[in-house]
Amino acid sequence: MDSVVVKQRKVVLSWPQWLTTYDHLGSHYPYYSTNGMEHGFSLAIAPILTSIPIENRKVDPIGVVEMLAKSYLLGNRTLIQGLHRSPWMGRPDGQGGWIFSDIPPHGHVRMPADQAAMQLKEALRAELLMYLAGRKHIGILLSGGLDSRVVAGILRELQLSGEFLGDVVALTWGLSGSRDVKYAQEIARRYKWEWVQIPLGPDILAENIRITGMAGAEFSPFHLHGMPQVSRLTGLDAVLAGSYGDSVGRAEFSGRHVLKLQPTVPFSLNRFGLVLDEWVRAVHRQVLSDAYAYRKHISRDKEYQFREIEQQMHYMRRKLQGCMSLIAERIPLFQAFTAPRTFALMWRLDPIIRGNQIYCALLPTLPGGIGKLPWARTGVPLEGAATQDEAEKEFHKYGPWLRNDLREFVTELVQSDAIRGLGIFNDRALDWLLRIWPRSHTVTTNSIDESVSWLASLALFVQHYNVQGPGAVTRTYRDEVNAIRGLTVASTYLAARERLRQ
């Protein structure tokens, strides 16, 4: 655990002793400050941020633009000037600098899917044994997805072989009757594991809006799911997750294959017009630097290889692991698929063969026949022509909960002086976005839900930590134009998404 000693605004914090995975694709990235005071590291933002004098707690407009453009921060940036996340693939050298791990190369090796699957499985066995060493009571985040299923199957193999003699608790969040909950419960039953269901609902989402604000407002609150409840569990020596399985095992990021990835920085940083134009222009170059500056130090010969690195460095690290670190503040959490040997093995393969075929070969080898269970995404097994399961596809109803149950709560926060008084946002654009936001009727969330819910958490962050605005800029005619354009873009986006979801 981090040790905290506060004296005359000086903070002494230690790097968590269990956190030795700096060279992993997915680790945890403690905060540190460069505000000139004695400083250390903390997985939680509060000990570092509260050591900074109130007059120096200023919002970083670069971070605000990045959040609204991407829904996550880039590089090591936070929403506070002078407060940073530890770098990807780096660990402190004890002298104020960093020691960086070598990043394995991409390759173009081709081999049969069953051969690649067995190599991946052996690498995962070794990786899990490393995380399990010296531990007896293990939690596993288990859903109806394929990634956590692979981790569960290999973990069970280690129990059956006697290589792991501890006990396992399967942890699943979601609505009863959903595919994720149904399949996870069945896997736990077959493996004779204790199974804990963590329910979701409007009250949990409201609490996650608050927790996200206290945690630095670095992601939209509905991405927390049941993580706060997991973090409060007692008796666990560690928690295992398989969140990186899609990106490593199948080269897929949010449903998009690595060969089809878009540039990290979008053409428009302000598509809904929510940020004052002068700020967007002022920070544009630094946003590009946050995204791409690492390319000066890493050599690759294909653009998709850079984009895969950026997905890991920015998207997976800042959006996904930012949430997961909430658990790691209290219980060590390890991501399977991220050990150097594991992801180096997959990166050396030709991306053409990095896909479902490797999982198709791996799943049948897992004990208990769990590979034959349907995939929550589709309701059918990865291979086979089985009839689609009629269980609910979505494990939540974040869209209606946010737009209906919590509309008043969220709107009040976005309209508060904590947001409007920062001197960053285009008030007209905010008002118009709040007006059209509830028009969506999808169960799933959209980009506007992402922005609005994040702004609500940002308001709580600003209020709780007495955060100041970055200064004033001149409002120009472009802000009115951007508000009108943003309304048009948002309205068109909502209409198109509604038709698509129907």
Q: Is 345 inside a domain boundary?
A: yes
- Is the model's pLDDT at 4 over the cut of 60? no
Judge whether 159 and 256 are in contact, CB under 8 Å: no
Domain of residue 240, residue span? 113-259+305-372
User: What's the pLDDT score for residue 502?
Assistant: 65
**Same domain flag for 149 and 237:** yes
Does 285 reside within a domain? no
Of the residues 336, 355, 372, the one at which a domain ends: 372
Residues 157 and 249 in one domain: yes
Q: What are phi and psi of 171, to 5 degrees?
A: -120, 120
Q: Using an 8 Å Cβ cutoff, are 59 and 424 in contact?
A: yes
Geometric angle at alpha carbon 126, from 165 and 121, rounded to 5°:
105
Split at pLDDT 50, 70, 90, the class of 498 is confident
Q: What's the CA gap between 126 and 132, in Å, rounded? A: 10
- Any domain includes 19: no
Same domain for 202 and 317?
A: yes
Q: Is residue 3 part of a domain?
A: no
**330 & 413 share domain:** no
In a domain, 335, yes or no: yes
Alpha-carbon separation of residue 436 from 336, 428, 431, 492 (angstroms): 41, 13, 9, 11
Structure tokens at 60: 């970083």
Q: Which two tokens stand for residue 272?
A: 């809904």
The region that residue 368 occupies, defined by phi over 0 for left and psi between -120 and 50 for alpha, beta otherwise, is left
> 213 and 362 share a domain?
yes
How many residues appear in the chain?
A: 502
Residues 306 and 295 sit within 8 Å (Cβ to Cβ): yes
What is the domain-level CATH number for residue 127? 3.40.50.620
Would residue 208 count as lying in a domain? yes
Confidence of residue 38 (pLDDT cuts 50, 70, 90): very low
Q: Are residues 459 and 322 in the same domain?
A: no
- Whole-angstrom CA distances from 459 to 291, 399, 421 are 26, 20, 10
As a whole number, mean pLDDT of residues 383-392 equals 80
End-to-end Cα distance, the chain: 48
Angle between helices 447-465 and 202-214 (to 10 degrees): 50
In this structure, the answer to whether residues 245 and 195 fall within a common structural domain is yes
Domain boundary among 372, 406, 428: 372
Q: For the residues 25-37, what does the mean pLDDT come to? A: 85
- pTM score, whole prediction: 0.94
* pLDDT for the residue 39: 64
**pLDDT grade, residue 377 (50/70/90)?**
very high
229, 340: one domain? yes
Q: What are 60-112's pLDDT values in tens digits?
A: 999 999 999 999 999 999 999 999 999 999 999 888 889 999 999 999 999 99
- The reply to whether 406 and 368 lie within a common domain is no
8 vs 444, more confident: 444
Q: CA–CA separation, 421 vs 438, rounded Å?
A: 24
The pairing of strands 238-241 and 333-335 is: parallel
200 shares its domain with 336 = yes
What are 9-27's pLDDT values in tens digits? 444 567 888 899 999 999 9
How many domains is the chain partitioned into structurally? 2
CA distances from residue 268 to 66, 70, 462 in whole angstroms, order as listed: 11, 10, 26
Give, in order, the Cα–Cα distances in Å from 136 to each of 37, 149, 330.
40, 21, 17
Distance between CA atoms of residues 218 and 414, nearest Å: 16
Angle between helices 477-501 and 277-292 (to 10 degrees): 60
Q: How does residue 37 score in pLDDT terms, banded at 50, 70 and 90?
A: low
Task: Please name the residues in contact with 81: beta carbons below 8 A apart, sequence gap of 6 or more.
Answer: 56, 58, 59, 60, 470
Q: If we measure between CA atoms, which residue out of 193, 233, 236, 219 comes closest to residue 324?
A: 219
Residue 36 has pLDDT above 50, yes or no: no
| 229 belongs to a structural domain | yes
Same domain, 237 and 313: yes
What is d(CA 422, CA 474) in angstroms, rounded to the nearest whole number?
13
Average pLDDT, the chain: 94
Per-residue pLDDT tens digits for 169-182: 999 999 999 999 99
Tell me, what's the pLDDT at 383?
76
Residues 159 and 195 both lie in one domain:
yes
Helix, strand or coil for residue 141? Answer: strand
Tokens at 493, concatenated: 């986006």
Assigned domain for 496 exists: yes
Using CA atoms, how far apart are residues 357 and 352, in angstroms rounded to an integer?
Answer: 10
